[in-house]
């Protein structure tokens, strides 16, 4: 890095509610081609702890940048492209692969407002219909599984009170 460049750190949360940091100090992070961080580590219990660990690894002060850089690195480590394709986040929400609730219920053949028991019954029925071991299509079976996960997550969420 030149004299005017700044060393940076990006921090994001992990599935286990810890913090992962990625630090760049020999060159700035780049989108295309994605430039991997100079160092990274996870397991910090707070953002401050992650930032301090990154600065110890770099041996210098680091400026905090958007968490999207650390998320891009985790996607890359998982064998995915670092940046989701344009438009893939719009309806599905942060590229998680989660189906919108109306679509999830439609895949299961249910109407809006179905109970958790209705969702479970519909999933069992659709799983038997689409399971590859019973002559179904594996892609359709996976779609049914994602729909079930999305619908149950939605059904378990507390309802907002309206005045």
Question: Do 117 and 73 share a domain, yes or no?
Answer: no
Query: Quick one: pLDDT at residue 4?
Result: 40
Query: Quick one: pLDDT at residue 93?
Result: 44
- CA dist 41 and 56 (Å) reads 12
Question: HEC profile for the chain?
Answer: CCCCCCCEEEEEECCCCCEEEEEECCCCCCCCCCCCCCEEEEEECCHHHHHHHHHHHHCCCCEEECCHHHHHHHHHHCCCCCCCCCCCCCCCCCCCCCCCHHHHHHHHCCCCCCCHHHHHHHHHHHHHHHCHHHCCCHHHHHHHHHHHHHHHHHHHCCCCCCC
Check residue 157 and give left, alpha or beta (phi > 0: left; psi -120 to 50: alpha). beta
Query: Quick one: pLDDT at residue 113?
Result: 81
Domain range enclosing 141? 101-156
In a domain, 106, yes or no: yes
Angstrom CA distances, 20 to 36, 66, 131, stand at 14, 13, 37
Beta-carbon count within 10 A of 134 CB: 10
In a domain, 86, yes or no: no
- CA dist 53 and 22 (Å) reads 10
Q: How many domains does the chain have?
A: 2
Query: Quick one: pLDDT at residue 57?
Result: 93
Identify the residue whose tokens are 């929400």. Answer: 93
In a domain, 67, yes or no: yes
In a domain, 29, yes or no: yes
In a domain, 85, yes or no: no
Q: Of 38, 62, 77, which residue sits at a domain end?
A: 77
Per-residue confidence in pLDDT tens, the chain, 163 aa: 444 467 899 999 888 888 999 999 998 888 888 899 999 998 889 989 999 999 999 999 999 888 889 999 998 888 888 888 765 444 444 444 555 655 788 888 888 788 899 999 999 998 998 888 888 888 888 889 998 998 888 888 777 666 6
- CA dist 150 and 38 (Å) reads 36
Tokens linked to 73: 């690195």
Query: Quick one: pLDDT at residue 134?
Result: 85
Could you tell me if 9 and 21 are in contact, meaning their C-beta atoms sit under 8 angstroms apart? Answer: yes
Query: Quick one: pLDDT at residue 91?
Result: 42
């Amino acid at each position: 890095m030149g004299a005017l460049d700044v060393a940076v750190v990006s921090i994001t949360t992990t599935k286990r509610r810890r913090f992962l940091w990625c630090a760049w100090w020999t060159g700035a992070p780049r989108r295309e081609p994605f430039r991997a961080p100079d160092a990274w580590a996870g397991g910090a219990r707070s953002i401050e702890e992650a930032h301090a660990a990154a600065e110890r690894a770099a041996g210098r002060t680091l400026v905090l940048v958007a968490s999207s850089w650390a998320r891009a690195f985790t996607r890359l480590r998982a064998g995915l492209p670092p940046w989701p394709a344009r438009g893939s986040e719009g309806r599905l929400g942060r590229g998680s692969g989660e189906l919108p609730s109306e679509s999830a219920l439609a895949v299961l053949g249910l109407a809006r407002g179905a109970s958790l028991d209705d969702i479970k019954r519909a999933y069992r029925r659709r799983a038997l219909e689409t399971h590859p071991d019973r002559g179904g299509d594996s892609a359709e079976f996976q779609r049914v599984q994602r729909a079930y996960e999305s619908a149950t997550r939605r059904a378990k969420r507390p309802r907002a009170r309206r005045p």
